[in-house]
Structure 1
């Protein structure tokens, strides 16, 4: 039987080992991803993509834009999508029961005419009231439906689309003009690709003209700067690293391309979850592994989608709460895959990692900081070695990983032409680990509690719009 000293010693070893392991995994993902990115950038180029499309090997694609109360920017969003460089694509805007004049703005600006469109309902969704098309722009379709949420709107778009691929984006996102060429290459070169995602970058602080990025700068807002570091480390290099190991579990709901038939085969998007993006990817893994079908789910580091991130505490808290609830919901729905050798590396390594080092990490983090406070405040437990090691593996190691990610991003992509921007991000890679990570753990912990309570709401988000 363990005495109290041995028990506390085991607790301290677990805490140190946990933080060391998670930061080491992220460091390995960043370093491995940097090598992988440089190889990919040498292999994939727009010139190569143009050559492929001239051979008419390209696949048709429909861009699905779910819109709810987007009257302030919906026209500009569609106008920017009309400028994309791609031989054949369609834009399907799904007005999801907006209570503002989103639909009327689209009708007036694009001279839309009510048009009956026949489609086969292959995935379920709320009732479609009307469909519209423009005689001047046959590539544009607008669907007006009853409110059912983002996933339900995407399902309606899937049914309306008749193309090989579908691309889901947020109505307030900006795609770079050559993004389809870059991302669809993987569907052409690898016929077994069922889903692919690209880079999501923070648009806050960038200078825009006519919905096009003219100058790239870091945000002015404190919260947005912290998220810029976070996006680089976790959303760019983290996902590139998972792609390298053929273990990608998330394609961002803000920007992803899917094989339409594959999505239909698994039943489309689920409408009773707040994490419809990760849930769909897990379900695609499950379906193809269960049926022993060859497939790929990719993440490419070059196709870029720009998005506005929350700049106020409450909106950011609500977003991260929802993301964690979505992760919890997806892992719970597909718990049969966990530690199941039938699902290969996804079941035996990837999902257990997300369970142990993503889902329950806020619990471990908060308990670890509580234990640290107890060690510091109680003379009988005071352990200077543990205190220094804890700070080293949890804070300093995290700072190093974030800094390496920021510098690696600049080496690989040279995104920021201004040295000041890189210096600011480098500074915030240190700040991110002092306070923000701890607050973020609390938000995630609350998200876990809300999931257990059955909370399904998205939470209110305040957006200030893009700087023109």
Structure 2
């Protein structure tokens, strides 16, 4: 089969663009990998508990309000609350915000923790939907439950901020389980910086396959589902490679909504959470923007070791919705704050971080999808195009599988959350298959997110929960 010279030139032209783009992206990620390796080895010692244990007794350790927005989280909310009530930290309060749930979340909480209605003066620092009642546990005086009309996750978090007592707050998803020492670790940079660090985020790991009893991880393991195992690898790559490298130079634009600590005064001054799909990223970008405009020297950091375990989607249907929504949220945050893009007024955030998230994180799936299409067309026409298709395929393996494999090795080299050698071996070999099936799927779903944004699709979409706790 022959192809006309004109179409051949177009095909090769687009192919060379994809090729050069992938080489540049691989180079950038390789730099992040090297930075992450040195940073992790510098941070971790054989016994890392001792320096954190000291924080339990220091007078300057800041009290924290833990906010848990909950909408129809009946399946996982009890494990989350139990894990939060057992954390190692000197002074904290847990505030569950029931955002108009239609299931039995509130009833379960009232019965299990013996909640009673109390009179509570709410400082309306951020505008929210009306609060119907505030409850306090008779068993745990630091446990509060806010019952309010439905307004979405951002609205629930803003209501929690209004109710909270302490200068720092942490946002936790309603299906998350924290390790006991997680708060000491995520608060350490805030305490040591004496206010210069205004936000700190920990790692998110997949709880599917782990044994969780009474809100505590008792055994770390892997799910039998290939789809979940690939998500484990994806999380390792995103957190251990991407966020460590960006955080090292104060370029971090995402603190996960599933586990992040913020200075309450700075968040209120910046306007609180906005009603967007990606409210966690949008807040962090707005904080960076606000800090630059105020000419303040503040940092937003990522700490790899403190871990929050969360339930991952086990079906294609719900994973597709999640990834599409995440990409829609990414674009929304970039679009709202497009003023920062390539703007020297905002320093490295405007000149490095925003372009990175636009060119690599947002546009990456579009370029990758183009590359897959070029490979298919090149295979059909053979000749020189076949050699080009092979070259693109080898690069895509490095871009996907090899970098993911490096993240797995980085996990084993430093943090070692997975104690069984068989689990690490499984992660290693699964990562080699990423380019063959999992990455093309996520590329398609993320491209769908762009289309959904252009169609002005709103909302999160339904997400089914099985629960990860016994």
Bin of the TM-score, shorter chain as denominator length? over 0.9
Q: Does 1:393 align with 2:395?
A: yes
Q: Residues 126-145 of structure 1: matches in 2 within 5 Å?
A: 126-145=129-148
Distance 1:111 1:289 in 2: 46
1:201 matched to which residue of 2?
205
Distance 1:55 1:409 in 2: 31
Distance 1:64 1:85 in 2: 17
The CA deviation string for residues 402-444 of structure 1, in whole angstroms up to 9 with x for no partner, is 1111011111012222111111101110111112111111101
Distance 1:459 1:201 in 2: 22
Distance 2:339 2:30 in 1: 30
2:375 matched to which residue of 1?
372
The CA deviation string for residues 196-223 of structure 1, in whole angstroms up to 9 with x for no partner, is 1001111111122322212211211111
Q: Does 1:104 align with 2:107?
A: yes
| Residues 133 and 326 of structure 1, relative CA distance in 2, 3 Å threshold | same
Unaligned runs of 5+ in 1: none
Within the candidate set 75, 91, 103, 1:72 is matched to: 75
2:329 matched to which residue of 1?
326
Task: Report the more deviating stretch, 71-80 or 433-442.
Answer: 71-80
Runs (4 or more) in structure 1 with deviation over 6 Å come to 2-5
| Residues 67 and 4 of structure 1, relative CA distance in 2, 3 Å threshold | closer
1:361 matched to which residue of 2?
364
Q: CA RMSD in A?
A: 1.8
1:221 matched to which residue of 2?
225
Distance 1:396 1:20 in 2: 10
Task: Report the more deviating stretch, 382-391 or 211-220.
Answer: 382-391
| Residues 307 and 192 of structure 1, relative CA distance in 2, 3 Å threshold | same
Q: Residues 241-320 of structure 1: matches in 2 within 5 Å?
A: 241-271=245-275, 273-320=276-323
Distance 1:263 1:58 in 2: 20
The CA deviation string for residues 264-297 of structure 1, in whole angstroms up to 9 with x for no partner, is 01110002x1100100000001000112111000
Q: Secondary structure at the match of 2:322?
A: helix
1:459 matched to which residue of 2?
461
Conservation of the 8 A alpha-carbon contact between 1:94 and 1:145? yes
If the length of structure 1 is used for normalisation, what is the TM-score? 0.96
Conservation of the 8 A alpha-carbon contact between 1:122 and 1:159? yes
2:432 matched to which residue of 1?
430
Distance 2:81 2:300 in 1: 27
If the length of structure 2 is used for normalisation, what is the TM-score? 0.95
| Residues 166 and 44 of structure 1, relative CA distance in 2, 3 Å threshold | farther
Unaligned runs of 5+ in 2: none
Q: Residues 57-206 of structure 1: matches in 2 within 5 Å?
A: 57-190=60-193, 191-206=195-210
Conservation of the 8 A alpha-carbon contact between 1:127 and 1:146? yes
Conservation of the 8 A alpha-carbon contact between 2:72 and 2:101? yes
